[in-house]
Amino acid sequence: MSFNSDAGLFVHQMDVTNDRLLLMRLSEADLCAASFLDQRLLQAEPGKPQRAMQWAEWSVIADQTQALANAVRDDARFIFHISHVGSTLLARLLGEAADTLALREPFVLRQFAELCAVEGKPHSPWPPGRYAQRLPIARKWLSRTFHAPQRALIKATSFVSEIASDILENKRAAIFMTLSPERFLQTILAGEASRRDLAGNAPSRLQRLNARLETDTFRLWELDEAQRAALGWACEMAALEAASGDHVMWLDFDAFLSDPATHLARAAHHLGTAMTPEEAQKLVSGPIMQRYSKAPEHGYSPQLREEVLAGAARDRKADISAALQWLDQAAKDHSAIASALARA
């Protein structure tokens, strides 16, 4: 079996300095089970041997793909999101369809987003043009599946939305998942994990948003925790807005939870996934909706989510109100943020 048709030979990451690729041997069950196809894959599971992996020269693997050109699949579909808005849950539900292989947060796309951010700059490890030449090749690698009728569904990391336009090329089907600003702030401020995520990502999100707006208006030291969450919402929503089009279906997570079977069936239809209304209803009535999608060993139902968010709305009411006012003012000063608010 050649590399181009062997989905089990997964391209995990790039060694940019030495121009190599880390290939990992993963089964279909491995890919379906993994919440994140990132560095956590490098850790051996308790009681199991380390996964087989090896480094290969980029040119050797890429040449195999380019030699076949149009014969190599490039039909993956995508889920982009603003973080903590049910994208992993949606990917798990859609991944239950027989014709879908769901891949969640492949690390290699994160690397491409980071490389794009320094494209053309003196400190970029790649010369100008290499990013644009190589991204379509990586997309083909992620489009490989185990069975001919299958198509890959790729749920990206939130900051990969920065290169969504390059990935989708204004034609590939995608779901963009969001939340209203108020509900997003409640979500982020409700849990320790989401607050740690906020603290870690706030600097890069501020940098991305300032770059998009061509300003240095926003300064991290002037923003409290809730305002940083509002800035994160603005950053990720502006990135999605820049990649929107007729090929995109926008999906608010609260709207999804209000009628999950209907919205799941709509999402499946948009992505070209075979799923009847009856199948959608069965899936949303099953165990997936009662587990924490990022860590299925833990229970987490829509009802529990509402209780947690209500607590954040109560305990951080003043902070959230001030952050929403900050966001409204930012929208008055910047049209890209105004467009994001209009979408919400």
Read off φ and ψ for residue 146, nearest 5 degrees. -90, -20
**Is 112 a member of any domain?**
no
Number of structural domains, the chain? 1
| 127 is a domain residue | no
Contact 83, 155 (CB under 8 A): no
Query: Does 337 fall in a domain?
Result: yes
2 in any annotated domain: no
Distance CA 199, CA 214 (A): 23
In a domain, residue 45? The reply is no
124 φ/ψ sector (left φ>0, alpha ψ -120 to 50, else beta): beta
| 61 domain residue, yes or no | no
What CATH number should be reported for the domain holding residue 225?
3.40.50
| Strand ranges inside 240-305, DSSP E | 248-252
Q: Which domain holds residue 215?
A: 74-99+149-343
> Do the domain assignments include residue 48?
no
Helix (H) or strand (E) holding 81: strand 77-81
pLDDT per residue over 273-297, tens digit each? 989 999 999 999 999 988 877 777 7
Per-residue pLDDT tens over the stretch 60-96: 888 888 776 666 789 999 999 999 999 999 999 999 9
* 3-state SS assignment for residue 173: coil
DSSP assignment of 100-155 equals EEEEE--HHHHHHHHHHHTTTSTT-SS-TTHHHHHHHHHHHHHT--SSTT-EEEEE
Is 164 inside any structural domain? yes
Evaluate whether 246 touches 270 at the Cβ level (below 8 Å).
no
Task: Per-residue pLDDT tens, the chain, 344 aa: give them.
Answer: 577 778 899 999 999 999 999 999 999 999 988 888 888 888 767 777 778 889 999 998 888 887 766 667 899 999 999 999 999 999 999 999 999 999 999 999 999 999 999 999 999 999 999 999 999 999 999 999 998 889 999 999 999 999 999 999 999 999 999 999 999 999 999 989 999 999 999 999 999 999 999 989 899 999 999 999 999 999 999 999 999 999 999 999 999 999 999 999 999 999 999 899 999 999 999 999 888 777 777 778 889 999 999 999 999 999 999 999 999 999 999 999 999 999 98
